[in-house]
Structure formats: C-alpha cells, structure tokens
Amino acid sequence: MSNRIHTLSGYFHEYQKSVTEPEKFWARIADSFHWKKRWDKVLEWDFESPDIKWFVNAKLNITENILERHLYTIGDRPAIIWEPNDPSEEGRTITYRELYHEVCRFSNALKSKGIGKGDKVIIYMPMIPEAAVAMLACARIGAIHSVVFAGFSSTALSDRVNDCGAKAILTSDGNFRGNKKIPVKEVVDTALENCTVETVIVVKRTGQEIDMLDGRDYWWHEVIEGHEDNNVAEEMDSEDMLFILYTSGSTGKPKGVVHTIGGYMIYTKYTFENVFQYSQGDVFWCTADIGWVTGHSYIVYGPLLAGGTTVMYEGVPTYPDAGRFWAVIDKYRVNQFYTAPTAIRALQAFGTEPIQQYKLESLKVLGSVGEPINEEAWHWYHTHIGKSKCPIVDTWWQTETGGIMISPLAGITPTKPAYATLPLPGIQLFVMDADGNKLVGNSVEGNLCIGFPWPGMIRTTYGDHDRCKQTYFSTYKGMYFTGDGVKRDHDGYYRILGRVDDVINVSGHRFGTAEVENAINEHPLVLESAVVGYPHEVKGQGIYAYVICDMTNRTEANLTNEIKESVTKIIGPIAKPDKIQIVSGLPKTRSGKIMRRILRKVAEGNLDNMGDTSTLLDPEVVEEIIKGRK
C-alpha cells in the first residue's frame, strides 16, 4: 500500500487531515507496516516533561519491515549499490535477499559475543556496506546503535563511548578517502585508552597493518564464520530506543539525541517516498555520511523501508576529480540525487568543465539538505546538474526531527530558490516572536517552533532528560523550539534564515547571519562567507564577515567595497558589514558546519581561549584568522 501524494491538491488535502485528525492520519500510514502486535493507542504526549509516545504498546522489529517484508517480493532487487573510493575498484551490489542473509549472519555473530537487547554499540566505520549491515544487525537484536562519523577524533569517540556506556565498537582497519588512507582502527585504539568496551569487531578494508588485542578485538570475517544466515528478529516495543546520535550544539559537549523505533520507522519511509517521489525501481543517492542523521534516514532506513535502491559512496566529491559525482550518477543511472549546498558550492568552484562529459539524463529529482542553499548555488545546481528539468527539493530538518519537516514534494510543490517551501503533512509549524507570541498570517519572520508531536521526533537526550527539556521545550511553553529563524513569505512559503543563536541585532534590526551571507555570496567572486555579530559601541552589535573569494586581479580594498555595495543593494545599508576579513578558509567541523563560536571569539577580540577545536577539519585556519583579524 502506498501513501504517496501525487498532486498539489492531494498535498493540501492530506495536510488538512493530518492536522484535524492526526492520530487517524498516522494510524493509516502505520497500517501499511508489519507489526508483531498492534498499538493500544496511537499517541500520548506532553511537551512539558517532555514525554512522547507513538503507537503505545505496539511490538515490532524495524528490520522485518526492511528485510522479511521485501524478501519474497523484491528479493533480487538491489538494496544497496556500493561505489568504492577508487573508481577502478569494483563496487558491490547487495540485493534484498543478500542483505537479509548478511544482517542475520552478523546479528547472530553479535549475539555470540554477548551483545543483545538494550546494549549500546558504537559504529565507527567508513562508508562501506558493512556499516549499514551493522546498523541493521543492531536493530535486529534490539541493540542500540550509535554511529560516530569516522572522521571524528579519538577524543570525540571516547567521549561518546563513555556517555552512552557502549559495550562494543564496530570499526574497520582503515579507510580510503581520496588519495589518503586513514588509520581508523588506530583511532579506536587511542580512544580505548580513555574508555573501555568488551568487544571490537574490525572489517578488513584497506589491509593496512593494525594491532589486534587478544580477547577484545575480532575480525568481522572471522566473527561471522559458522553462523546461520537467518534468525528471528527480536520483538521490540515501539518506544524502545533505535539509536543514539550525537550532535554538537552551540554550547557544551555533544548531546545524544535519542530516536525510538516505531515513530522513526514510519516517518522516514513516509517522508522519503513523498519528498523525493520515489517510485519502485528508481535509484536513489544521498551523498551524506552515515555518521550524520541524513545518512541514517536517507541512505539506510528510509530507502530500505521503502524497498528502494540506495547508493552508498565511500569517497569524496573531488576524487579522482571534480566530475566524480556526475560519473557515479551516469554509472548507476541515479534518479534522485541528494546532497548539501556546501558540496554544490565546492564543485561550482571548478566551473562547468568537469560536467561536460556526463549525460546526467537519468536524474529526475535533486535534493539539498543541511544548511540554507544560497540562490546562486540553487541556480547552478538547477541549470547545470538538473538541466533545468529536475525539481529541487530544499529539505529542512534536524538531527532531532528524525526526518524531513519542511520541503517541496518533488514535481508537485512549486519551488522558489532558497525556500524549503511548505511543511510536510503532520508538521504543525509556528512562527514565534521573542515574547512567545504566535505570529499569524503571512509575511512574518520569527523563531521556528513545532506545536504538535510528529512520529520521528526526538524523545530525549541520552542520560540527561533535563537537557532535552531545557534545550527544546522550555523557550516556548508547549512547543518544540528548533533554534532556527524562519520567514513565512506572502505565499505562506517558509525560508530558513539560519540559527537564531546567530542572529545579529544591529541598531535594533535583526539579521539572520545566513541572510547577510546570502547577500555577500551574490558577489560573483565570493566563494563562501560566514558572518557573526560583535559588540559595537553605537549599534549594539556590528557585523563581522569572514569571506573566501577569488582574489585574482583584485585588491582587498576594492573587493571589500564591492561586497559592502552588494549587501547594501540586496538587504539595505544597515546590513552592510562593518568589518570584512578576507580568509583562505573557514573553521569547519568535519560535517561541514562552520564553527561560529571561534569566529565570534576572534571578532570580539577574545583570543586567549578558543575552546575545543578538536573536531575541526583544518585547525590551522584558526591561526590564520587570528593573524588577519580586523
């Protein structure tokens, strides 16, 4: 049974039903899944505590809805297509039948190592099929996975192991990434100097020399030997934890966002099918890493729950050259391609030459996620990748939301560059002002809140429920607060303005940093920018802009003036940056998020303590920025 929406009026109709009778709406969607026992009640909730339960007392196993469900109908269809880092190495295609057997065999192996229901398992692996098998095997036996991006440092890894009390780590010897070979197991070994786990299981990927500790470390290929390739999935409660995923907030140590089984399951499949308009037989490619929620929901769970074919790519966008994404799209005839604006901008910088030799004719839908997409990148993506025929779905959501919340439905919702457009069915958005009032009507701007539960939402922050309450449910009474600023335009369309923790108040006027950045980025020589506020004697806050640009044939002075002009033209003189520092790079986490905390400190002249820079992609950049401070 499909719950796919096909028309714009169908969308409005479904949306209406989802708001007037939410329980009936989600029960109908949940009906198309396999439950071992049906729920007593669809929803129990209270945003005060918070306490949210979907499909109360229902029993299920999410992997039955991925594996058994598809075994006899589409068992021979590719579930995962894996593309290795090196294009000359042969990839792997894993059918649903093969995936079933691999997951069963590995889950039996995990059980033989004493891992079972309720245990926490860290997955610290590169983008190889075993990573997906590992996630599903955990889900099959009722263990709770916590995937840690394999680019994180050993300190970040040990912090997470300690925070969730992990019993095991699943990892690899190494990782191929571009022309580099990364020593993954070595990082695990270093992490384990500061934490303990009983078991480490290691996939042989690079074949590099590694240490194996007797009685703790096992090779994946040895550990699965002799185990049956089928088993019965553990019976789980709908509200049992499926996974913990750590996400860095603007302050403090990363918090473990907890998602539970039943709600996450129906939400990821429903949003996957509707946003991307995925049809059976299509090939879907999300370029995220499984270390991020995007990888969880739209490489693994969403596509596989839908019986889809999901592409998993081990490498980086520019290896061996800037045409790699386009080569992979042609190679597998990818129909839906989902990536981040940062990747689009990075590739845009190479011009259109690397695209020329590829057809890209299989593409039907393009997606964007993770940050506001600037208009220039949107148009480049639309024109050069989508050949002006593919709708772009700009999908807004968060680790905490589990799945896409605001997005066009591909080919159905009319799009506007840089707008995430409209909420998905079931998502009741509120635009709030600083005093806690709901802003009604269109053409309003405020803080984005959600006033009613949705199945994929965060349940708690692991080990610290109060932090969940404080972070998300205390700013606005009775609401989930997203931390994002938003504009609802004259058409009722939503545009995300960026985190409100980054809102700058200049002479009483508020600007989203993303809004100012968008304007700066409109300058043709600007590649990327980041804007923060700093204390200003007259205006309260001034605007400080860090800008990466093409300096060929320009002086700093004339570029700076042009950028100011450009901002004046697009937003108004009041948003004109007070200071512009030309830089060669920005301090980014490995997930591509700019660490604004560092930029703010430099802008404020608070240079003695930069805080934790261990998760930065390129820590040297900080030195350069301090030296060039305006």
Q: Which residues bind ligand WT7 (CB under 6 A)?
A: 247, 292-294, 369-372, 394-399, 420, 482-484, 496, 499
CB 285 within 8 A of CB 336: yes
Distance CA 317, CA 513 (A): 27
DSSP track, 414-475: PP-TT--BSBPTT--EEEE-TTSPBPPSSSEEEEEEE-S--TT---EETT-HHHHHHHHSSS
**Smallest gap from residue 84 Cβ to ligand WT7 (A):** 25
Closer residue to ligand WT7 (CB): 273 or 371: 371
Closer residue to ligand WT7 (CB): 94 or 586: 586
Closer residue to ligand WT7 (CB): 189 or 289: 289
**Smallest gap from residue 194 Cβ to ligand WT7 (A):** 25
Closer residue to ligand WT7 (CB): 26 or 419: 419
Q: Provide the phi-psi class of 351: left if phi over 0, else alpha when psi is between -120 and 50, else beta.
A: left
CB 433 within 8 A of CB 479: no
Nearest alpha-carbon partner for 390 in 276, 295, 314, 494: 276
The residue assigned the tokens 């880092």 is 85
DSSP track, 56-102: ET-EE-GGGGTTHHHHHHHTTSEEEEEE-SSTTS--EEEEHHHHHHH
**Smallest gap from residue 245 Cβ to ligand WT7 (A):** 9
CB 263 within 8 A of CB 54: yes
Closer residue to ligand WT7 (CB): 173 or 515: 515
CB 248 within 8 A of CB 274: no
**Smallest gap from residue 264 Cβ to ligand WT7 (A):** 14
**Smallest gap from residue 340 Cβ to ligand WT7 (A):** 8
Closer residue to ligand WT7 (CB): 61 or 274: 274
**Smallest gap from residue 546 Cβ to ligand WT7 (A):** 18
**Smallest gap from residue 271 Cβ to ligand WT7 (A):** 11
Closer residue to ligand WT7 (CB): 230 or 247: 247
Closer residue to ligand WT7 (CB): 397 or 430: 397
81-105 in b/e form (b: 16+ CB < 10 A) is bbbbbeeeeebeebbbbbbbbbbbb
Instruction: List beta partners, residue 336.
Output: 284, 365
Closer residue to ligand WT7 (CB): 218 or 472: 472
**Smallest gap from residue 397 Cβ to ligand WT7 (A):** 4
- Residue 148: partners with Cβ closer than 8 Å, 6 or more residues away: 122, 123, 124, 156, 157, 160, 246, 291
Q: In what order do the strands lie in the sheet with 199-203?
A: 217-219, 199-203, 168-172, 120-124, 144-147, 241-247, 255-260, 460-461
**Smallest gap from residue 503 Cβ to ligand WT7 (A):** 12
**Smallest gap from residue 131 Cβ to ligand WT7 (A):** 18
Closer residue to ligand WT7 (CB): 292 or 313: 292
Closer residue to ligand WT7 (CB): 206 or 407: 407
- Residue 79: partners with Cβ closer than 8 Å, 6 or more residues away: 70, 94, 95, 96, 98, 99, 304, 308, 309, 310
**Smallest gap from residue 427 Cβ to ligand WT7 (A):** 14
Instruction: Give the CB-side neighbour count of residue 206, counting CA atoms within 13 A.
Output: 23
**Smallest gap from residue 279 Cβ to ligand WT7 (A):** 23
CB 59 within 8 A of CB 35: yes
Closer residue to ligand WT7 (CB): 107 or 294: 294
624 burial level (CB within 10 Å; 0-12, 13-18, 19+): middle
270-282 in b/e form (b: 16+ CB < 10 A) is bbbbbbbbbeeeb
